[in-house]
Chains A and B, each alone.
Chain A
Amino acid sequence: MEIPERTEIIIIGAGLMGCSIAYHLSKEKKEVVVFEKRNIASGASGRNGGQVIQLEGRDKNPETIKARLEITNENNKILKTLEKELNYNLEYQKIGSLDIALTKQEWEDIKETIKAQKKAGDKEIELLGKKETLQLCPLLTDNVFGSRFRPSDGTINPFFLTHGFAFRAQKLGAKIFTYTPVKKIIRENGKAKGVELENGKKVFSDIVINATNAWSIFLCPEIDILPLRQVAVVTEPVANLPVYPMEAFIDGDAIFTTTQTKSGNLVAGGFRTQARDREEHYDESVEPIELSGSSAIFKRIFKGLGDICIIRSWSGVMAVTGDCLPCIGRYPETKNLYISAGFLNGMAYGPIVGKLVAELIIYGKTSISIDIFKPERFYKKRINWPKFYNYTILAEFFARV
């Protein structure tokens, strides 16, 4: 397949966002070319637990809760029928998710969060006491205080989801070029004209979309999106364990456990990273302390899983914006340039965001408001990110601002 001289739309990045956008645009008969530095789903889309969690974290802000719920609810709706639509096995299972409290303080925080989220209009979430939590998940440690349960959350195979979009998009005419890194976006007179590839070749287009998440800043430096490294371990496949996508805080770190795939591999991980400066967050090797630390999550959260074997570890880089919400929409001051980046929890967004970005490009507006995610909010705004950071330091940073 030859790289064309020009095309209607160029998408940079073949992660979940890029592929979902490519699919939705191709469906509308747009001519789409995707450039990817490595493979499909090589970045965060292939390095996550596959949790579909609508309101990850402990959001207590009614405004963001509403906006996030509106969009992720729609995402869940899409997921219900997506397997059929893409004709691809996605291993989607709607089994609910838990946010568990392992200390009294966490338990108070969860109760407060639920209060705030219910008040903001969330009718679904439940507060489970210790007994109910253990009933739902008898594997959990007896040290659990209680949990937040959201029944409509679940898990999906992140590889298959991304490939499902990619393959379908290709079938509809999209061209995906892997191992074809983009050097820069060509911008002239306030307009995006196309991209220049690493090999020097220029490809022109009417529209350019930056969907490179943690790598976004290299192409669109005006919006300061921070890479945040995550480490996880994967176990051998285990049959029939009552495990849900779970969030918790341990020693100030956000951690998660889940079943990554239907075949029963358990995944545990979090932002338990040894990385210090920005550069190191892109490092995809795993340190010994990260490997043992991530494995230890299983012991902290569950009881009796000690004999299950770890078969793999990985690290990958998520992305954080100045307010922890993604940047989606038209790029300020540069016509025909769009961005969809800054995701910490892409599975809950990918399918719907692809659809909304396509709507925005084709119709100039979206069926659901994405105002809260608009890129303007950080455009050319210097964020005083800490030079050395991990999750804990960032949490403090956000608490301060």
Chain B
Amino acid sequence: MKKKDLRIYKHPILGDMPEKKKIYIYFNEKKLTAYEGEMIAAVLYANGIRKLRKTERFKKPRGIFCAIGRCTDCVMTVDGIPNVRTCITPVKNGMKIEFQVGLGKWKKKIW
């Protein structure tokens, strides 16, 4: 686990990473440690997960591209809702994040 952690804990300019409350999220059922205030995509990247979804037309994988919520490349299915921009959506304890295929499926019952 530690080995794959790509967080920058020590930084020559920014100093040590501030202490934050530890929480857990699930990526395709896999339990991951996250810290309060982190963005979903950042937690996944910290764990070496860069493939966030597969596109509709050419079935190609996508990851983070703009990191500020504009390009919508990082969208995933979060708590049953597809197309959530994970680079600007903070994690919540117990959040369920799923790899999105194409337009995704509404896991959340909508009717």
A binds B: yes
Chain A positions within 8 Å of B, measured between CB atoms, are 138-139, 236-240, 263-264, 302-305, 307, 309
Let me know if A307 and B81 touch, CB within 8 A: yes
Whether A264 pairs with B103 at a CB distance below 8 angstroms is yes
Starting from the known contacts A138-B111, A307-B81, 5 additional A-B residue pairs (CB-CB under 8 Å) come to A238-B82, A238-B106, A239-B104, A240-B105, A309-B83
| Bound form: Cα–Cα A302–B102 in Å | 24
Known: A239-B104, A307-B81. A139 touches B56 (CB 8 A): no
Q: Are A239 and B111 in contact (CB under 8 A)?
A: no
**CB <8 Å contact, B103 and A238:** yes
Query: B103 and A139: CB pair below 8 A?
Result: no
- Chain A residues lying within 8 Å of B108, measured Cβ to Cβ, are 307
Pick from A304, A307, A309: contact of B111, CB below 8 A. A304
Number of interface residues of B (CB under 8 A): 13
In the complex, which residues of chain B have a beta carbon less than 8 angstroms from the beta carbon of A304? Answer: 109-111
Residues of chain B whose beta carbon lies under 8 Å from any beta carbon of chain A? 56, 81-83, 102-106, 108-111
Whether B110 contacts A139 by the Cβ 8 Å rule is: yes
Could you name 6 residue pairs across A and B whose Cβ atoms are closer than 8 Å? Answer: A139-B111, A237-B103, A239-B104, A303-B110, A307-B81, A307-B110
Point out the residues of chain A lying under 8 angstroms from B102, CB to CB: 239
Chain A residue nearest to B75 in the complex (CB): A236
Q: Which 10 A-B pairs have the closest CB atoms?
A: A304-B110, A239-B103, A139-B111, A138-B111, A237-B103, A304-B111, A307-B81, A236-B83, A264-B103, A303-B111
Closest to A242 in B: B111
A233 to B108, CA, bound (A): 23
- List the B residue with the shortest CB-CB distance to A305: B110
A140 and chain B: residue at smallest CB distance: B111
How far is B57's CA from A264's CA once the two chains are assembled, in angstroms?
Answer: 13
- Kindly report which residue of chain A lies nearest to residue B57, judged by CB atoms: A263
A263–B105 CA distance with the chains assembled, in angstroms: 14
Q: Output the least CB separation between B45 and chain A (Å).
A: 24
Q: Which residues of B contact A309 (CB under 8 A)?
A: 83
With a cutoff of 8 Å between Cβ atoms, the chain A residues found around residue B81 in the complex are 307
Q: How far is the CA of A302 from the CA of B110 in the complex (A)?
A: 10
Closest beta carbon of chain A to B70's beta carbon, Å: 12
Determine the chain B residues whose CB is within 8 A of the CB of A239 once the complex forms. Answer: 82, 102-106
**Alpha-carbon gap, A240 to B103, bound state (A):** 9
